[in-house]
Amino acid sequence: MLHSTGSWSALKEKRDKNGKRWNFSYWHTFSFVTDNRAQRLFFWDDDHKESGVVLLLGDQSQPYASIRNLVDRLVSSPELRKQHSRELRFPLERYYREFGSFPDEINGKA
């Protein structure tokens, strides 16, 4: 595993049109040494029954304003949530703190 620790930000929760609350956490890292660049947008409902992560690697990296737009799209689109669905382990900061926590990051596939 490549050891590159990122920074975390908890984002404001949002409710979908049915009133279901969605929680978000944003993680990002950049290493000048390895040129590893990654962003992750984690999402989950209050019961942890639905969860996932959007991986943005390398050139897919987005400005923070675009991440906020992605949050809105995830809240409004069950199809987009399904596309990025993954079972997550909590607390996120314990299990996903380093670059390479997801095999896709090493393989360069998001």
Residue 60 falls inside a structural domain: yes
Whether 1 is in a domain gets the answer no
Residue 94, in any domain of the structure: yes
Q: What is the pTM of this model?
A: 0.87
CA distance 6 to 37: 10
The answer to whether position 55 is within a domain reads: yes
Please report the sign of the dihedral spanned by the C-alpha atoms of residue 75, residue 19, residue 24, residue 109.
negative
Residue 108's pLDDT band, with cuts at 50, 70 and 90, is low
Closest to 16 measured CA to CA, from 84, 83, 82, 75: 75
- Asked if residue 2 belongs to a domain, the reply is no
23 inside domain: yes
pLDDT per residue as tens digits for the range 18-73: 999 999 999 988 765 556 678 999 999 999 999 999 999 877 888 888 999 999 99
What domain range is 38 assigned to?
A: 7-107
Number of separate domains in the chain: 1
